[in-house]
Amino acid sequence: MDSSNSRLFITYSIVVIIVMILMGTVIIPLLSGNERIIAILTLVGGLIIFFVLIYNIFEKYIKPVRSAARVAEQLVKGNYKARTYVSHYGEAGKLSNTVNALARSLQEMTIQERMQGNQLRTVIDNMESGLMLIDERGYVHLVNRKFEAMFGKNANQYIGYLYYDVLDQENIHKAVQEAFLYEEKIKNSFTISLEVEKRYVEIVGAPIFNDTKNLKGAVLVFHDITELKRSEQTRKDFVANVSHELKTPMTSIRGFAETLLDGAMEEEELREQFLTIILNESQRLQTLVHDLLELSKLEHDELKLNRKLINISSLLDDILPIVSHQAQQKNITFNTTVKNTIEIVADPERLKQVFINLINNAINYTPNNGNISLSIETIDMFVRIIVSDNGIGISEESRDRIFERFYRVDKARSRNTGGTGLGLAIVKHIVEAHQGSIKVESKIDKGTTFCILLPKQ
CB of 367 to ligand ADP, least distance (A): 11
Give, as ranges, the residues between 416 and 435 that touch ligand ADP (CB under 6 A). 419-425
Cβ distance to ligand ADP smaller for residue 168 or 432: 432
Cβ distance to ligand ADP smaller for residue 201 or 362: 362
Give ∠ CA 399-403-404 in degrees, rounded to 5: 110
Give, as ranges, the residues between 398 and 417 that touch ligand ADP (CB under 6 A). 402, 407-410, 414
Backbone angles phi, psi at 95, to 5 degrees: -60, -50
Q: Which stretch binds Mg ion (CB under 5 A): 156-164, 284-292, 360-368, 432-440?
A: 360-368
Any contact of residue 67 with Mg ion (CB under 5 A)? no
Query: Which partner in ligand ADP, Mg ion, none is near 365 (CB below 5 to 8 A by kind)?
Result: ligand ADP
Any contact of residue 87 with ligand ADP (CB under 6 A)? no
Question: Which position's Cβ is nearest Mg ion?
Answer: 423
CB of 385 to ligand ADP, least distance (A): 14
Cβ distance to Mg ion smaller for residue 200 or 403: 403
Q: Which stretch binds Mg ion (CB under 5 A): 20-28, 327-335, 417-425, 440-448?
A: 417-425
Cβ distance to ligand ADP smaller for residue 189 or 417: 417
Any contact of residue 394 with ligand ADP (CB under 6 A)? yes
Query: Which partner in Mg ion, ligand ADP, none is near 408 (CB below 5 to 8 A by kind)?
Result: ligand ADP
Query: Which partner in Mg ion, ligand ADP, none is near 348 (CB below 5 to 8 A by kind)?
Result: none
Give, as ranges, the residues between 341 and 380 that touch ligand ADP (CB under 6 A). 357, 361-362, 365
Give ∠ CA 135-202-224 in degrees, rounded to 5: 105
CB of 376 to ligand ADP, least distance (A): 17
The correct pick among 130, 419, 436, 447 for binding Mg ion (CB under 5 A) is: 419
CB of 317 to Mg ion, least distance (A): 23
Q: Which stretch binds Mg ion (CB under 5 A): 18-26, 201-209, 338-346, 421-429?
A: 421-429
Residue 422, classified by CB atoms within 10 Å of its CB into exposed (0-12), middle (13-18) or buried (19+), is buried
CB of 117 to ligand ADP, least distance (A): 56
CB of 146 to Mg ion, least distance (A): 43
**Cα–Cα distance between 65 and 57 in angstroms, integer?**
11
The 3-state secondary structure of the chain, one letter per residue = CCHHHHHHHHHHHHHHHHHHHHHHHHHHHHCCCHHHHHHHHHHHHHHHHHHHHHHHHHHHHHHHHHHHHHHHHHHHCCCCCCCCCCCCCHHHHHHHHHHHHHHHHHHHHHHHHHHHHHHHHHHHHCCCCEEEEEECCCEEEEECHHHHHHHCCCHHHCCCCEHHHHCCCHHHHHHHHHHHHHCCCEEEEEEEEECCEEEEEEEEEEEEECCCCCEEEEEEEEEECHHHHHHHHHHHHHHHHHHHHHHHHHHHHHHHHHHHHCCHHHCHHHHHHHHHHHHHHHHHHHHHHHHHHHHHHHHHCCCCCCCEEEEHHHHHHHHHHHHHHHHHHCCCEEEEEECCCCEEEECHHHHHHHHHHHHHHHHHCCCCCCEEEEEEEEECCEEEEEEEECCCCCCHHHHCCCCCCCCCCCHHHHHHCCCCCCHHHHHHHHHHHCCCEEEEEEECCCEEEEEEEEECC
Cβ distance to ligand ADP smaller for residue 103 or 392: 392
Cβ distance to Mg ion smaller for residue 205 or 447: 447
**Cα–Cα distance between 189 and 169 in angstroms, integer?**
11
Query: Which partner in Mg ion, ligand ADP, none is near 420 (CB below 5 to 8 A by kind)?
Result: ligand ADP
Cβ distance to Mg ion smaller for residue 45 or 418: 418
Write the interaction track for Mg ion spanning residues 422-441; mark x where CB under 5 A is met and - where it is not: -x------------------
- Residues lying near ligand ADP in the complex (CB under 6 A): 357, 361-362, 365, 389, 391-394, 402, 407-410, 414, 419-425, 448
- Residues lying near Mg ion in the complex (CB under 5 A): 361, 419, 423
